[in-house]
Homo-oligomer: A and B are copies of this chain.
Amino acid sequence: MIRVLGIDPGSRHTGYGVVDGHGNRLVHVTSGTIAVPGSLPFPERLGVIFARIDALIRQTAPHECAVEDVFMSRNAKSALILGQARGAAVVAGVQAGLPVFEYSALQIKQAVAGFGKADKEQVKQMVRTLLRVTGRLSSHAADALAVAVCHLHSRTSPLCRQVGEQR
């Protein structure tokens, strides 16, 4: 069994999803959204993201971590803010000793929905079906579960690479 933590980082809402892979069978362990109060000073928001991911890793003990490749914003200011949130989340994984892998949005859609042009709602529906999630599922949690599923599908394929491996 391999347990993967998927993360969809954001400065206000960070999605997370933990999925177990038993051979070809995927099992949903937990998922949700870390909502960070906009009223907090920015570094404290980063601290909340770090602390919550850190606590989640302690609780669920994943073997590996997967993160969606950063959105290539045309706006440098929003990229700096998103980058800092992503840095806080990735550092939480690295500090816990987890290998961190990244996948592009296209790779995730292909892995989850079979083709790269699926819309967000289709991806969410496929995640629900694949993982038999019946309760409430936020779009952030669905995206985090999708990257975890993508990693479980791809981890033995050449699609898979550790973040930054080609940099």
Closest to A43 in B: B100
How many monomers of this chain does the complex have?
A: 2
Does A162 make an interface contact (CB < 8 A)?
yes
Q: How does the 8 Å CB contact mask read for A155-167 relative to B, with 1 for contact and 0 for none?
A: 0000000111101
Name A89-118 residues within 8 Å CB distance of B: 90-91, 93-95, 100
Of A55-63, A77-85, A122-130, A132-140, which stretch is located at the interface?
A: A77-85
> Complex formed: what's the CA distance from A80 to B77 in Å?
9
Of the candidates B41, B42, B70, B93, the one whose C-beta lies within 8 Å of that of A43 is: B93
Is B43 touching A164 in the complex (CB atoms < 8 A)?
Answer: yes
Residues of chain A at interface, number, CB under 8 A: 40
Binding site secondary structure of chain A: helix
- Show 27 A/B contacts (Cβ-Cβ < 8 Å), sorted by A: A41-B100, A41-B162, A41-B167, A42-B164, A42-B167, A43-B90, A43-B94, A43-B162, A43-B164, A46-B94, A47-B91, A47-B94, A47-B95, A51-B95, A75-B76, A79-B79, A79-B83, A80-B80, A80-B82, A80-B83, A83-B83, A83-B87, A85-B87, A87-B88, A88-B90, A88-B91, A91-B91
The 8 closest A-B pairs by CB, nearest first: A83-B83, A42-B164, A87-B87, A84-B87, A47-B94, A79-B79, A43-B100, A76-B79
